[in-house]
Amino acid sequence: MTERAQFQAEIEKLVASRALHGSESLCKLLRYLGRQELEHPGSAVKEYQIATEVFGRQADFDPQLDSMVRVQAGRLRTKLAEYYNTEGATDRILVELPKGSYAVAFHERASATSAHGNGSAAGTWANDSVESSRASAKRRFLVPVMSLALIAALATIGWLLWTRRQSDVSAANAAGAISAPTPIRIFWKGFVRGPEEPWVIFSNAAFVGRPNTGMRYYDAAKDAKSPILDHYTGVGEVLAVHSLDIVFGEMHQALRVKRGSLFSLDDAKNNDLIFMGSPSENLTLLEIPSTTEFVFKKVTTGPQEGNVEIVNVHPAKGEADKYVLGPSNTSLAEDYAVVALVKGINPEHWELILAGTTTIGTQAAVEYVTRENYLDELLKRMNVTQPGELKPFEAVIHVKVARGVPVESSLVALRVLN
């Protein structure tokens, strides 16, 4: 009971800290790992276990393809270090997530240990080699003997801090404050600079045929007299709109959604726009300013015929001159997408283009600008630390796909424009 109460109090104090404020996923991970250590001491926590039980990944999650758990664990280590270097600088008890392990541990700060001396009844450890314990990720740290009064005090502090955090969050929400992580706040506040809500224009290609007999893209040369179906879009676009809605909700920012077939040039002149889908499906991109460094083009010959490729107009050293999928008759294991911020028809407004060569790539492009770890990488590459520093850019990302789901994205080309 002594160990459990102390451990829970330390975990809750961290969750209520400014360092972890707004990082709901990291708080969830920390609580889960803490609970695992208490309920299953000494048992190794698997990456797959964390992915499915904490982050809701599907049963087919493959740690070799998706580094999400490792990235989140690294972020948690960084936040813990940030806390103990700032508001927790005087804490006597430290909570750690040793590298190479998903087992949390807590121990007494080295300075506090030396001040008490070995064997002190005021709170020393049964294990008298703290430094060697810190050096080994697999060795568990033993708990000091604490009085029931101190346990109650720690638990009360944790509860009060948590209550205060909930009050602060409620007050912040009432005042319209931003609770999104820093990279997301910097990027999206750099894009949304005016009071009007941006418009999301999702791909809405024209089809002919019927779902029960077969559908295909409309061809003006052959289908002039055929009725057009313009009320279908890809799975990736649907999930992408959901991702944007979550991020804009965190920033207390409104958002409008419109399908491509209903889009007009007046909309382009008067609003900041987010285009989802390549020009082959989001046809409105053909009528307005678009990318110039990475251009979509339909493949007309060879085994990739019918696919869409991304042409690298000015390849830099080590870059490919084009990005294209494998033959059309093979299963989708990868995709490519463009993430670009350009000036619109009205230079006072922005256009954000998020387009894959397939609907899965489009989903990955939106996830790239709505996930903290991806945006952190992009902003660092562009040397952006404040919203006002965001400049027009074009980028290409490579997307790993598993069973129709984008599982990992990496930046393969970037141009920061004047």
Contact predicate 409/367, CB 8 Å: yes
CA triple 93-96-102, angle to 5 deg: 145
pLDDT over 90 percentage in the chain: 19
The sign of the dihedral angle between the CA atoms of 182, 188, 190, 194 is negative
pTM, to two decimals: 0.56
Contact predicate 104/33, CB 8 Å: yes
Half-sphere exposure of 26 (CA within 13 A, CB side): 24
Nearest in space to 277 (alpha carbons), one of 191, 381, 364, 395: 364
Strands 93-96 and 405-416: unpaired
Q: E-strand spans in 86-129?
A: 93-96, 105-108
Structure tokens at 375: 């945006």
Nearest in space to 104 (alpha carbons), one of 165, 25, 14, 24: 14
What length is written for the chain?
418
Question: Tens of pLDDT along 183-233?
Answer: 999 999 999 877 778 889 887 777 888 777 788 777 777 877 788 777 777
| Distance from C-alpha of 5 to C-alpha of 182, rounded to nearest angstrom | 33
pLDDT of residue 92: 83
Contact predicate 180/250, CB 8 Å: yes
Contact predicate 69/51, CB 8 Å: yes
Contact predicate 23/122, CB 8 Å: no
pLDDT of residue 111: 55
Question: Tens of pLDDT along 231-257?
Answer: 777 788 888 888 898 888 888 888 888
Structure tokens at 5: 């109460």
Question: Tens of pLDDT along 314-327?
Answer: 999 989 999 988 76
CA triple 256-260-263, angle to 5 deg: 70
Nearest in space to 82 (alpha carbons), one of 215, 217, 210, 182: 182
| Distance from C-alpha of 280 to C-alpha of 275, rounded to nearest angstrom | 13
